[in-house]
Amino acid sequence: MESDEYDLSYGNRPFLTNEQPGRDEPHRTYGAPAGNAHIHAMSRRRIRMTLMVAALSLATGACADSQAPGVGAVEERRVSPVTVNSRVVNWRDDHIVWLQVPLRASRIMVLLPGTNRQPAMGRSIGRIAAEQGYRAIGLKYADNVAVVDACSGDPNPRCMEQVRGEIIQGTDQSPHVSVDRDNSIDGRLADLLRYLDQRFPGEGWGQFLDAAGEPRWDRIAVGGLSQGGGHAAFIAKLRQVPRVVMFGAPADGYNGQVAPWMQPGATPINRYFGFRHARDPFTSIEPNWAALGMQSLGR
* CATH number, domain with residue 140: 3.40.50
The pTM (predicted TM-score) of the whole model is: 0.81
Q: φ and ψ at 275, to 5 degrees?
A: -140, 130
- Adjacent-strand bridge partners of 97: 77, 137
Q: Is the pLDDT of residue 117 over 60?
A: yes
Does the residue 8 lie in any domain? no
* Mean pLDDT score, 229-236: 98
Does the residue 237 lie in any domain? yes
Does the residue 15 lie in any domain? no
CB 30 within 8 Å of CB 289? yes
Strand (E) or helix (H) holding 136: strand 134-138
Distant-in-sequence, close-in-space partners of 98: CB < 8 Å, separation ≥ 6: 74, 75, 76, 77, 123, 126, 127, 129, 130, 135, 136, 137, 138
Confidence of residue 227 (pLDDT cuts 50, 70, 90): very high
Q: Is the pLDDT of residue 226 over 70?
A: yes
Does the residue 43 lie in any domain? yes
- What are the pLDDT digits (tens) for 190-220? 999 999 999 999 999 999 999 999 999 999 9
Mean pLDDT of the chain: 81
The pLDDT of residue 28: 52
Does the residue 19 lie in any domain? no
Provide the domain count of the chain: 1
Does the residue 13 lie in any domain? no
- What are the pLDDT digits (tens) for 278-291? 888 899 999 999 99
Across 236-261, b (16+ Cβ under 10 Å) vs e yields bbbbebbbbbbbbbbbbbeeeebbeb
Indicate the pairing of strand 107-112 with strand 220-225: parallel
Question: Helical H runs in the chain?
Answer: 47-59, 81-84, 123-131, 147-150, 159-169, 185-199, 227-238, 285-292
The pLDDT of residue 103: 86
Does the residue 10 lie in any domain? no
Structural domain range at position 158 = 24-297
Q: What Rg, from alpha-carbon coordinates, does the chain have?
A: 18
Q: Is the pLDDT of residue 26 over 60?
A: no
* Mean pLDDT score, 59-67: 46
Does the residue 2 lie in any domain? no
One-character DSSP codes across 204-268: -GGGGB-TTS-B-GGGEEEEEETHHHHHHHHHHHHS--S-EEEES----SSTTPPPTT-S--SS-
The pLDDT of residue 296: 78
